Amino acid sequence: MLFVLVLYSQRFVSSEAGALRFGTALLPMVGVSGMLVAIVRLTLSSDELQRRVLIYASAIAFGTTLFITMALGCLEDAGVSRLSWTLIWPIGILSWGVALAVLKRWYR
């Protein structure tokens, strides 16, 4: 849902001017901040092992997202078409989900 809102706001921003343009551009940040609050609440309400798994998954996802982003940047320099920066968020969430699933299985 958030990704759809980001794509919609990008199309709307290009057709507007002034303060409405900036407000519309920042509209997806409402959903992003809600997700951040949910992740922090999940981490704080977890027991020690769950917290450890969540933090490890976050660290792995951060590194994976950096690696993929750098690889895409290098491919851009090599002539591959430029990708949207809005792809970084889904890449990060996907890497976090995969790391979380693997670590939960590991600590079973």
In the chain, what are the domain boundaries? 1-45, 46-108
Contact 32, 86 (CB under 8 A): no
pLDDT of residue 13: 57
For residue 27, is pLDDT > 70?
yes
Q: Which residue has the higher pLDDT, 57 or 5?
A: 57
103 contact partners, CB below 8 Å, separation of at least 6? 53, 56, 57, 60
Contact 61, 95 (CB under 8 A): yes
32-39 long-range contacts, CB within 8 A, separation 24+: 32/2, 32/89, 35/2
Among the ranges given (19-23, 32-36, 46-50, 100-104), the one the predictor scored with the smallest mean pLDDT: 19-23
pLDDT of residue 11: 62
pLDDT of residue 80: 83
What's the maximum distance between 2 C-alpha atoms anywhere in the chain?
54
Q: Say if residue 107 is exposed, middle or buried (CB neighbours under 10 Å; 0-12, 13-18, 19+).
A: exposed
45 contact partners, CB below 8 Å, separation of at least 6? none
Q: What average pLDDT does the structure give for the chain? A: 84
Among the ranges given (17-21, 53-57, 82-86), the one the predictor scored with the smallest mean pLDDT: 17-21
